[in-house]
Amino acid sequence: MTIYNIALIGFGGVNRALAELIATKNHLWERDLGFRLNIVAVSDLHLGSVISPNGLDAKTLVEANFAKGGFGQLSGGSSEADNETIIKTAPADIVVEATFTNPKDGEPAVSHCRWALQTGKHVVTTNKGPVAIAARELKSLAGANGVRFEYEGSVMSGTPVIRMAEKTLAGAEVTGFEGILNGTSNFVLGRMEGGLDFAAAVKEAQQLGYAEADPTADVEGFDVRLKVVILANELLGANLKPEDVTCKGISDLSPSDIEAAAKANSRWKLIGSAVRAEDGKVTGSVAPKRLALEHPLAAVNGATNAVSLNTELLGAVTITGPGAGRIETAYALLSDIVAIHAAGKSAVTKEAA
């Protein structure tokens, strides 16, 4: 049985949910997946940082109601978030990056990932910044250091779109995609259809843990733009940057726009899409679209996401599932660790053969 020591960078909704899963499910993972997880360090902007080589009790971490700088009270703790020291020196096999997504340059998360990979630690992340902005560099750094950079939760939370497209649809030749890729804006549009005003709907999405720290990223389309870049670069072989993707959000949609759509048997949805042209050029866009009720994406409600992948050999293949949520996104981190574990096992098998 394998024990993976993990360092959590950011201890907000998602990493706290991962700690919750560790507290309740480690024994099942040990039995069913062949490993258990041991938290050896945590660093959070608000709470400070702590290293404990023998491991921190996940249940205590989740249940203790730490105040600002509260990790300073723990043995091996400090009231400051010293991410660089934690990432470089904690005895971790895997660094779990779940700090705020910075849609402009991906920092400081890009540096967090770099420090981890450079010091021979795997990285799993739900943070869209480093993946959209620096995936090529980080994947090559991971390869050079014999570790992995995994980021399933950066698109569609725990719903396995990236791995599904790359592994299960290998050879089907994806030529484009369109989808609902932001849980918050989809939730907000649905609540507005029910008569709630925009600001109140955004507040609900924040309370439910769907929204970004700054929900402007959700409602202005910037979050979807990062996801379009990630999927286009990953599945269509593009090399897009966020500024290459045209972007318009939902904040200009008024209650009368929503009402007019309903009267015409249609609904507004924020659609992210990309397509590869015959000459190989990939273009991407984010924009609200009025979809007829019969459109497959029109029935996708709440924080659910869906993406239709257009493939040469199968036609459209649509994947739908949770697009946001704390536990749902923590599951994505687990799925990344399962992938790391499986790759480690196949490396060992190859060596033995």
Ligand X SMILES: NC(=O)c1ccc[n+]([C@@H]2O[C@H](COP(=O)([O-])OP(=O)(O)OC[C@H]3O[C@@H](n4cnc5c(N)ncnc54)[C@H](O)[C@@H]3O)[C@@H](O)[C@H]2O)c1
Ligand Y SMILES: N[C@@H](CCO)C(=O)O
Please give the residue ranges that form the binding site for ligand X (CB under 6 A). Answer: 9-14, 43-46, 81, 83, 98-101, 108, 126-128, 153, 157, 209-210, 212-213, 324-326, 329
The question of whether 227 is a catalytic residue gets the answer yes
User: Could you tell me the smallest distance in angstroms from the CB atom of residue 132 to ligand Y?
Assistant: 11
For residues 157 and 308, which CB has a smaller minimum distance to ligand Y in the complex?
Answer: 157
- From CA 174, how far away is CA 155, in angstroms rounded? 17
Given a contact cutoff of 8 angstroms between Cβ atoms, the answer to whether 113 and 124 are in contact is no
Q: In DSSP terms, which residues pair with 3 in a beta bridge? A: 36
For residues 77 and 153, which CB has a smaller minimum distance to ligand Y in the complex?
Answer: 153
Catalytic residue among 227, 248, 281, 345: 227
User: Could you tell me the smallest distance in angstroms from the CB atom of residue 77 to ligand X?
Assistant: 14
- Return the one option of ligand Y, ligand X, none that residue 184 interacts with (CB less than 5 to 8 A, by type): ligand Y
User: Could you tell me the smallest distance in angstroms from the CB atom of residue 205 to ligand Y?
Assistant: 7
Given a contact cutoff of 8 angstroms between Cβ atoms, the answer to whether 152 and 163 are in contact is yes
For residues 52 and 185, which CB has a smaller minimum distance to ligand Y in the complex?
Answer: 185
**Binding-site ranges for ligand Y (CB under 6 A):** 157, 182-184, 210-212, 218, 223, 323-324
For residues 52 and 305, which CB has a smaller minimum distance to ligand Y in the complex?
Answer: 305
- Return the one option of ligand Y, ligand X, none that residue 235 interacts with (CB less than 5 to 8 A, by type): none
- From CA 339, how far away is CA 283, in angstroms rounded? 30
The contacts of residue 123 (CB under 8 Å, 6+ apart) are 94, 95, 97, 113, 116, 117, 138, 142, 147, 148, 149, 150
Q: Chain centroid to CA 273: how far? A: 18
Residue of closest CB approach to ligand Y = 184
- Return the one option of ligand X, ligand Y, none that residue 13 interacts with (CB less than 5 to 8 A, by type): ligand X
- Return the one option of ligand X, ligand Y, none that residue 14 interacts with (CB less than 5 to 8 A, by type): ligand X
Residue of closest CB approach to ligand X = 12
**DSSP single-letter state for residue 70:** G
Query: Within 13 Å and on the Cβ side, how many CA atoms surround 273?
Result: 15
For residues 29 and 210, which CB has a smaller minimum distance to ligand Y in the complex?
Answer: 210
Instruction: Identify the H or E element spanning 191.
Output: helix 183-193
User: Could you tell me the smallest distance in angstroms from the CB atom of residue 221 to ligand Y?
Assistant: 11
Q: Give me the DSSP letters along 256-281.
A: HHHHHHHHTTEEEEEEEEEEE-TTS-
- Return the one option of ligand Y, ligand X, none that residue 272 interacts with (CB less than 5 to 8 A, by type): none
- Best CA proximity match to 184, nearest among 245, 129, 227, 232: 227
Active site residues: 227
